[in-house]
Amino acid sequence: MTSRLRSPWIIALVTLLAAALGAVPAAGRGVARAADAPYKDPSLPVATRVADLLSRMSLDDKAGQMTQADRGALTTVSDVAAYRLGSILSGGGSAPSPNTPSSWADMYDNFQRQALSTPLGIPMIYGIDAVHGHNNVVGATIFPHNIGLGATRDPDLVERVGRATAEEVSGTGIDWTFAPCLCVARNDRWGRTYESFSEDPQLVTQMTTIVDGFQKAGNASILATAKHYVGDGGTTGGRDQGNTELSEADLRAIHLAPFKAAVQRGVGSVMVSYSSWNGARMHGNKYLITDVLKGELGFKGFVVTDWAGIDQLDGQTGFTANEITTAINAGVDMVMVPNDYKKFVSLLKQEVQAGRIPTSRIDDANRRILTKKFELGLFEKPLTDRSYTSTVGSAAHRAVAREAVRKSLVLLKNAGDVLPLAKTGGKIFVAGKSADDIGNQSGGWTISWQGSSGNITGGTTILQGIRDLVGSGAQVTYNRDGSGIDSSYRAAIAVVGETPYAEGQGDRTGSMGLDSTDLATLQRLKASGVPLVVVLVSGRPLDIAGQIDQWNALVAAWLPGTEGRGVADMLFGDSAPSGRLPMTWPRSADQEPINDGDGKDALFKYGYGLDYTVPPPHSPSPSPSPSPSPSPSPSPSLSPSPSPSPSVSPSAGGCVVTYRTNDWGGGFTADVTITNRSSSAVNGWRLQWTYAGNQKITGYWNAVVTQSGQQVTASNASYNGTIGANGGTASFGFQGTYSGANATPAAFTLNGAACATG
């Protein structure tokens, strides 16, 4: 990671003032702070600097580095120095007053000066849930939540979202985001479904490019966090903080794969999940944290708990010494104890002194934490780089967000090609509780933890976006509940759906349909006889099968954030719909959980999404869809078109197959990528190979995989049947069992033509 730019003269001044004032708590007196100490030399390797610093640290220093407290719980700001706190965080809604970028930067620098005043001058690292932009800060750019980004199928765009977020976060001093959430949501009842890029582990894996966006943003780089490790999206009943009841093979195939990809990208931290795996709490699971994550996957960063996560290990309120020992010995490196950091530091030292936590484990945790602080450049440039403060909510970042909104929209129905609408002529009626509400369209984790309706931050509502785009070309009338519409309008746009929520409060154990307010609004609009376009603002697929026949068009807008103009762009043809469903859309809530390949009759299958078939009237022609995937037929039918039959083979030597496995005792998962090097697209594909051993395939995704003896055939799914020419790719995966050797197949054929291996 690249160092963030800080002000060296400020550091020197702070150091001199600290020395002059004697700001050295008793526990650290006598520790050398020689200016020429090796750990202070940026020309030395990070490992050398870490080893030198570690050799100078007392148990007080080491315990403090492993402690993270919430800013609002600090008794006094000087406790940062007194307790050697390694990290501060802002929980959802924990903000300075006034909530402005400069106030955040001032607050951060104040905390950092305290950390620098300690004998060893170890900078603290500040964490925040910047999960869809710098969403705790008023005026920041709020991007679509992950479910919308998953619908874009655009890893490059997602990386740019991460980079823009990093710049805004860095401009307020913060250097660590608790993102991305790499959960694979398998039950839409879960209140964190919108934090998941997809139900498909392969798509979630592709979206780990956001890690690069956070951590490779030049001087604005911040630390990323892969969360929540592991299996939080697979709990029984979609219950938040629940129990994921799966075999190890399924846990690895579905939920571990994205974390493996994030580790390969060098993600700096991993946050442990509140959830359990087959009854065992993740915060105490040494096998999955130490053996699998740190050992098998080779994770080199540090592991942090979730908010007060260790408190839940024994099922009682509050944490105990035994819970601390269990979590630290399981492999946790930093503990988020938001409210009681003093007790935690005391008990942690007690457990180390009693020999129940080995000193080697404490040193390993500190080594991991310090390594990331050195890599971020915090020792050289610990204070806010104010040159990035002006990027918060900047026009350039809002343009990226608007692009993300455009590409996230999924057109699910378009009877009679009612969309795109013309910008000129006649009257358009807009209604719905979310049409003119920034809070609703941004969802949870916006300004406050659970989010809220209303004008909570700056941005453009969907209604304002429509008015801006249409201008004087057509009359736009708005009434929230639909009152006043009549047959004189040429179209009605209803923006309806869910109101904001976050974890816990967002779980829906009963109905998953529209509320009575939305249903009444839709009924008024429908009664007018005007063509009805429904824009659904929601954090998950909703139960709409009973109403959709009354609508002419349906757009899944997910939770688009502050740039509502992106929705208007698609409605009026300035952009073409290109989003594809990242989740299977159920016919009823009773089908939950419903996922691709489970045989359930979905309302819309995973990967479904329509294109426009006619250019917008009286408007510029829409840009072509960037998605290489073939779209289902845009007829009013709710069922996607069948998969194309294999019909085109690549030219000789024109395909390359990359086959990678992750093996463990008796089981494995495989990731396969087909690259088409020929000048012709492959429309419908079938890949075949033969195993030399006794491998048995037990499950698969992004393809239909069958096995007869040692011969295996993988055929495209309904949504990925075309492999573009000149480097186009298709990827799929599967899980299986084996004994003995698990050798890579020697040869592959694509539609009968031999492929090279890569």
Nearest alpha-carbon partner for 61 in 37, 36, 25, 88: 25
User: What is the identity of the amino acid at 321?
Assistant: A
Nearest alpha-carbon partner for 349 in 27, 25, 50: 27
Q: How many Cα atoms within 13 Å fall on the side-chain side of residue 715? A: 11
Residues sharing a CB contact under 8 Å with residue 254, sequence separation 6 or more, in sequence order: 184, 186, 201, 234, 246
Residues sharing a CB contact under 8 Å with residue 557, sequence separation 6 or more, in sequence order: 148, 405, 408, 409, 441, 462, 495, 497, 535, 536, 537, 567
Nearest alpha-carbon partner for 463 in 400, 393, 535, 414: 535
C-alpha 363/C-alpha 55 separation (Å) is: 10
C-alpha 625/C-alpha 39 separation (Å) is: 52
- Crossing angle for the helix pair 321-330 and 359-376, nearest 10 degrees? 60
- Cis preceding linkage at 180, omega within 30: yes
C-alpha 647/C-alpha 352 separation (Å) is: 66
Selected catalytic residue, list 306, 351, 385, 543: 306
Residues sharing a CB contact under 8 Å with residue 334, sequence separation 6 or more, in sequence order: 65, 66, 67, 68, 86, 87, 269, 302, 303, 304, 305, 365, 369
Residue 180 token pair: 């991305």
Phi, psi for 257 (deg, rounded to 5): -55, -45
Selected catalytic residue, list 168, 175, 437, 503: 503
**Please, what is the Cα angle at 528 between 525 and 530, to 5 degrees?**
80
User: What is the identity of the amino acid at 329?
Assistant: N
C-alpha 256/C-alpha 668 separation (Å) is: 12
* Site of tokens 């979730």: 306
Handedness of CA 631, 633, 636, 637 (dihedral sign): negative
User: What is the identity of the amino acid at 408?
Assistant: S
How do beta strands 475-478 and 427-431 pair? parallel
DSSP reduced 3-state for 405: helix
Residues sharing a CB contact under 8 Å with residue 709, sequence separation 6 or more, in sequence order: none
C-alpha 470/C-alpha 421 separation (Å) is: 10
How do beta strands 655-664 and 87-90 pair? unpaired
C-alpha 486/C-alpha 469 separation (Å) is: 23
Is position 436 annotated as part of the catalytic site? no
Q: How many Cα atoms within 13 Å fall on the side-chain side of residue 68? A: 26
Q: How far is the CA of 475 from the CAs of 267, 422, 484, 585, 618, in angstroms?
A: 50, 12, 14, 35, 15
Cα distance between the two ends of the chain: 29
Residue 184 token pair: 């694979």
Q: How far is the CA of 203 from the CAs of 146, 167, 323, 604, 732, in angstroms?
A: 11, 26, 36, 18, 10
C-alpha 500/C-alpha 503 separation (Å) is: 11
Is position 195 annotated as part of the catalytic site? no
How do beta strands 276-277 and 243-244 pair? parallel
Phi, psi for 215 (deg, rounded to 5): -95, -10
Residue 608 token pair: 């479904």
The catalytic residue positions are 306, 503
